[in-house]
Structure 1
Amino acid sequence: MPQYKDFARSWVERNRQQLSDWHQVIWHYAEPAFREYKSCAWYVRRLREEGFSVEEGSGGMPTAFCATFSNGEGPVLATYAEYDAVPGNCQAAATRKMSREGLSKYAPGHTDPHSALGMSALGGVLAAKAAMLEFGLQGTLKFFGEPAEKLRASKPVHAAKGYYDDLDAAISFHPTYMLPLNNTTTWDTHCGIAYSYIYTFTCEEPQNWIAADRYSPIPQNHLAARAPGANDALVHFYTLNESLRRSTLPFTGLWSFNEAILTAGQATADNLPPHVSQIQYLLRCDSIEQAETIAQVMDNNAAAAALATGCQWKKTWVCKSRGGLANHVLAQACYDNLAAIGAPRWGEEAIAIAREVQANLGLEPMDRPFLPATEALVEPQECERQLRLQMPAWQKYLTSDDYPEYTWHCPTVRLLVARPMLSAPAGYSYPDWVANALGGIRQTIDPMIEVAAKTIACTLLDLFAQPELLAAATREFDERTGGGIGGSRWQAPLLPRDFQAPHRYRWPEYIRTVRGEEWWIPARDDE
């Protein structure tokens, strides 16, 4: 193994405790999409202390950043942090179900966990930087802060605004979220297309509804029929979307769309129609053509719901994300580094914690409570073979994530390292809080962070030190795109360059009141 990789691996081991401490900070912040103020500020401060120049608010997104470190002329390589948490998953780092101290159970928590995703990437970048200085490796590291991944909202914006145009290669890391995508790199089947948008219904002229009272000087008086208003529009729209789901998504390989109500009416329990309502949708599918068809059907449904309820409607885009482009050269190189490092290993303390979780759930604690697969490697070609057995032959993509935006601008690898997952008795499924808790307990999540950080660092350093590796990955990128960026098979960003991310909408967030900082859905005394 080259000395620069030995050095980087040793750096991660020497800084293991520091990475663990840093991860605890982000995990406990647990800020949701577009509201990751503390998490973003922490990364910006840390990166500046490490010698990076940092652009805050990159792409017009307040909780995004672009950090750069250069050591002479050479390739420009990138990776990134995510740090958004998910509302309704406020689990403590504990072996039983409980909210984090002082918070409503409706507050956010890290599910994937993005906290460890970001810390693994940061550890890899800092280890690579240290080795670059030690061995005189030339080039530039770029480290992006990518907020709101759960909305697929930042990477399409960064891509559209040109932030990835100068990259020579990129590494995308994610904790394992499903088998067989475990301790491997993605070969052919990358994440697919995602569209997200907000529909807003407003009842601005209730007096003009067909049943309005035309004889009273006071519109919408208490004796008259009133315009249904924005709440009814939202309900009708939601119902239409659900009833037409089978027509809209026929045989599309388990793709889906999901919704979240952002605003529902106002304090108008009088005889006044609610004035405004908003609902956000995220759809995942296998092609841009499918996404456009689904979006058109939903526009028709919105128009029908608005007409029936005396409302107007508008649509605000959150994201348009492309499907991923494979790069076998980089996938193999990164996997080779992972194989040399080895899969995560769960020590005695982690095993004791896992057994305690099982006991608290009323299960018989297992001698080996962690899934054996979490400590095993899967070659990317074998992972691809197993994955295709679960999919229709015609299906190109699986699941969604916005990292594919990188894949259309430079050779990109998707690295997947096992998060802690427990073995289950036959017929038993663990509740969600278990995985969330294990993602916040040092002894159970730190082994993944260490393995991922080492793998990222070693792959970045190989790309700096081995020009032939980067050249081969670039040739494959050019072949797959029909000539590189702008080539005959290249897909341009789906958002316009002047796109404005809708971060000002009513996204869930922590709020500060006279009672202190709390989640916007208050805790109840009977929780």
Structure 2
Amino acid sequence: MKNIKNEILAWVDDNASDLSDWHQTIFNYGETAWREYKSCAWYVNRLREEGFEVEEGSGGMPTAFCAVWKNGDGPTIGSYAEYDAVPGNCQAADTVQRARDNLSEHAGGHTDPHSALGISSLGGLLAAKKMMEQYNIPGTLKYFGEPAEKVRGSKPIHAANGYYDDLDAAISFHPFYMLPLSNTTRWNTHCGAAYAMIYTFECKEPETWLSQSDEADSPIAASHASARAPGANDALMQMYGTSKLLKESMVAAGTGWSMNECILTAGQATADNLPAQIAQIQYIMRVPDLEMAETVTRVLDQNAAAAAQISHCSWKKDWVCKSRPGLPNHVMAQLTYDNLEFVGAPKFNEGKAAVKKAQEIQRNLGLDEMDAPFMTECEELISPQDAERELRKQLPEWQKNFTSDDYTEFCWHAPTVRLYIARPTLKAPDNGKKYPAWVMNALGGIPETIDPMILCASKTIGNTIIDLLTKPEVLAKAKEEFEERTGGVGGENWIAPQCDYPSPHNFRWPEYIETERGVEWWIPKN
């Protein structure tokens, strides 16, 4: 077995150039939620070339997929790629702040970066597949394309449509985004629930807003001199303002949660004496549990109804996401961490090319260059138990879940691990200043700085897959723990999928468009 694990490491190293090039492709696509057309197509084509059977548009989502490769009868191990970027973060893989070539700074860009998330899991998957072929290891690899994670979009839909039901175990990887969750796995405190929805306001009958006696003699049926209906923009602003004002009344004080909003559609009228016909606002809440999500949703619904009434509009709510809180699995967490120990933490300060790029960034910002510019924690392992203890210091005892990500959907269908590998992060400047946000985004795209994370994660994931396929006693223990925590699928403590809505891809999500000027972001460069 040790030979196979070393061969996994060797395979990843031998294919490091391909993995780096693949990542550059996805990073530079920079496509945002529900509009990841090129990114999804790239994965579909790559997987088919590797011998996978691929279902495109899985779960009714145009930019999702489900890929399966089978090597005889054996366990089914699941993993996934994410590839959605974030609007307004169009940073080039460069040491200065600039948008990617020929694009507006408002275009999409990878922040976490999901581009590296997907290529890392793909690298581990393909490394494990190679070993399965070479040593005739039976089993099935099931790999998902998961769009729109930034709005917690696809995994609740895949789960509700049965795509995870045949998994024996699942591996979730994410580049680290906060300490102490760097080069470790989650132990007890997994991510929480998330609800996201779009409220649509429409002013369908503006002519019924007021009945004025002087209109009877007007030569114009709907006089422009009349008082106009408030309309949809006013409803949206009422919704926005009221929800901000009442935020502290939505849940109990001292509760760790967050809520953010995004205006998707507004106006549909000129600056004339005509009311706006339609306006849409999206909310997403990240909360510890489903009960809290339902409470916040009730308040938002009341706010929408009140805003619509005073603005002479109708309103409706469409769901974007209902994701469940995460569930621990200690067997999976320890197994994956053991493989991370075997691989070792990524090294950034040892790479001359990575250090040079980091120093260029510091110099371009007018800061003193550091001999070892990357955070020490990026190159150190922390056990899941130690990371748990550090994480719990900032949380109340009652809170079981913290932060948000929809990998949690896998947790209720199969034993699941959440793996974090350090992404390149610079040490704080000595003068107390903070790096601008573009620096982290750039480091996530520069090959010299992000590749060490991709290689480390690929090796760890590949070896974990092989362990799950060749150590039936370990997989049995993981499944036994899953049964104990849930009572089994449908059991007493099991939470069923909350998704009862279709894919919300038809809304006006920000996207790239093609005009006479070529392909550009919907907000032009100039």
TM-score range, shorter chain: over 0.9
Secondary structure of the structure 2 residue equivalent to 1:265: coil
Query: Corresponding residue for 2:462?
Result: 457
RMSD between superposed Cα atoms in Å:
1.1
Query: Corresponding residue for 2:409?
Result: 405
Query: Corresponding residue for 2:265?
Result: 263
Query: Corresponding residue for 1:353?
Result: 357
Secondary structure of the structure 2 residue equivalent to 1:366: coil
The letter of the residue matching 1:90 is C
Measure, in 1, the Cα distance between the counterparts of 2:492 and 2:212.
57
The letter of the residue matching 1:416 is Y
Measure, in 2, the Cα distance between the counterparts of 1:472 and 1:407.
15
Q: Does 1:28 align with 2:32?
A: no
Query: Corresponding residue for 1:136?
Result: 136
The letter of the residue matching 1:397 is N
Superposed displacement of residue 268, structure 1: 2.5
Q: 1:318 to 1:150 in 2, by over 3 A?
A: same
Secondary structure of the structure 2 residue equivalent to 1:150: helix
Secondary structure of the structure 1 residue equivalent to 2:459: helix
Query: Corresponding residue for 2:480?
Result: 475
Q: 1:202 to 1:349 in 2, by over 3 A?
A: same
Measure, in 1, the Cα distance between the counterparts of 2:453 and 2:447.
10
* Paired residues of 1:185 and 1:414 also in contact (CA < 8 A): yes
| Unaligned stretches of 5+ residues in structure 2 | none
Query: Corresponding residue for 1:158?
Result: 158
Query: Corresponding residue for 1:237?
Result: 239
Secondary structure of the structure 2 residue equivalent to 1:6: helix
The letter of the residue matching 1:136 is N
Measure, in 1, the Cα distance between the counterparts of 2:222 and 2:285.
38
Q: Does 1:446 align with 2:451?
A: yes
Superposed displacement of residue 283, structure 1: 0.5
Superposed displacement of residue 211, structure 1: 6.0
Q: 1:217 to 1:277 in 2, by over 3 A?
A: farther
Query: Corresponding residue for 2:368?
Result: 364
Query: Corresponding residue for 1:191?
Result: 191
Superposed displacement of residue 217, structure 1: 6.3
Query: Corresponding residue for 1:56?
Result: 56
Q: 1:219 to 1:112 in 2, by over 3 A?
A: farther
1:196-228 Cα distance to aligned partner (Å, 9 max, x none): 000000000111224667534645422110100
Query: Corresponding residue for 2:435?
Result: 430
* Paired residues of 1:211 and 1:227 also in contact (CA < 8 A): no
TM-score by length of 1: 0.97
Superposed displacement of residue 251, structure 1: 2.8
Query: Corresponding residue for 2:419?
Result: 415
Secondary structure of the structure 2 residue equivalent to 1:511: strand
Secondary structure of the structure 2 residue equivalent to 1:80: strand
Superposed displacement of residue 253, structure 1: 3.7
Query: Corresponding residue for 2:105?
Result: 105
Give the alignment partner of residue 491 of structure 2, picking from 487, 494, 499: 487
Superposed displacement of residue 15, structure 1: 0.2
Measure, in 1, the Cα distance between the counterparts of 2:293 and 2:8.
43
The letter of the residue matching 1:468 is E
Q: Which moved more, 1:210-219 or 1:289-298?
A: 210-219
Query: Corresponding residue for 1:90?
Result: 90
The letter of the residue matching 2:395 is M
1:444-487 Cα distance to aligned partner (Å, 9 max, x none): 000000000000000000000000010000000000002x1011
* Paired residues of 1:221 and 1:271 also in contact (CA < 8 A): no
Measure, in 2, the Cα distance between the counterparts of 1:78 and 1:468.
18
Q: Which moved more, 1:503-512 or 1:284-293?
A: 284-293
The letter of the residue matching 1:315 is K
* Paired residues of 2:210 and 2:227 also in contact (CA < 8 A): no
* Paired residues of 2:200 and 2:279 also in contact (CA < 8 A): yes
Secondary structure of the structure 2 residue equivalent to 1:106: coil
Query: Corresponding residue for 2:302?
Result: 300
Query: Corresponding residue for 2:285?
Result: 283
Superposed displacement of residue 252, structure 1: 4.8
Secondary structure of the structure 2 residue equivalent to 1:403: helix
Q: Which moved more, 1:462-471 or 1:216-225?
A: 216-225
* Paired residues of 2:159 and 2:497 also in contact (CA < 8 A): yes
What is the total number of aligned residue pairs between the two structures?
521
Measure, in 1, the Cα distance between the counterparts of 2:3 and 2:404.
37
1:87-137 Cα distance to aligned partner (Å, 9 max, x none): 000001111111111100000100000000000000000000000001110
Query: Corresponding residue for 2:43?
Result: 43
Query: Corresponding residue for 2:519?
Result: 517
Q: Does 1:326 align with 2:328?
A: yes
1:17-76 Cα distance to aligned partner (Å, 9 max, x none): 000000000000000000000000000000000000000000000000000000000000
Superposed displacement of residue 250, structure 1: 3.4
* Paired residues of 1:39 and 1:83 also in contact (CA < 8 A): yes
Identity of aligned residues (%): 61
1:291-333 Cα distance to aligned partner (Å, 9 max, x none): 1111010100000010001100000000100000000001000
Superposed displacement of residue 381, structure 1: 0.0
Query: Corresponding residue for 2:123?
Result: 123
* Paired residues of 1:342 and 1:451 also in contact (CA < 8 A): yes
Measure, in 1, the Cα distance between the counterparts of 2:160 and 2:179.
32
The letter of the residue matching 1:406 is F
Measure, in 2, the Cα distance between the counterparts of 1:252 and 1:54.
46
Measure, in 2, the Cα distance between the counterparts of 1:423 and 1:135.
44
The 4+ residue runs of structure 1 with deviation greater than 6 A are none
1:154-193 Cα distance to aligned partner (Å, 9 max, x none): 0000000000000000000000000000000000010001
Measure, in 1, the Cα distance between the counterparts of 2:2 and 2:489.
33
Secondary structure of the structure 1 residue equivalent to 2:406: coil
Measure, in 2, the Cα distance between the counterparts of 1:324 and 1:218.
61
Measure, in 2, the Cα distance between the counterparts of 1:107 and 1:217.
48
Secondary structure of the structure 2 residue equivalent to 1:333: helix
Superposed displacement of residue 410, structure 1: 0.2
* Paired residues of 2:53 and 2:69 also in contact (CA < 8 A): yes
* Paired residues of 1:34 and 1:507 also in contact (CA < 8 A): yes
Query: Corresponding residue for 2:75?
Result: 75
* Paired residues of 1:12 and 1:454 also in contact (CA < 8 A): yes
Give the alignment partner of residue 466 of structure 1, picking from 459, 463, 471: 471
TM-score by length of 2: 0.98
The letter of the residue matching 1:20 is S
Q: Which moved more, 1:504-513 or 1:253-262?
A: 253-262
1:232-269 Cα distance to aligned partner (Å, 9 max, x none): 00000100000001111433543111011000011322
Measure, in 1, the Cα distance between the counterparts of 2:211 and 2:389.
61
Measure, in 2, the Cα distance between the counterparts of 1:191 and 1:121.
20
The letter of the residue matching 1:442 is P
Q: Does 1:309 align with 2:311?
A: yes
Measure, in 1, the Cα distance between the counterparts of 2:127 and 2:253.
46
Measure, in 1, the Cα distance between the counterparts of 2:52 and 2:41.
14
Q: Does 1:376 align with 2:376?
A: no
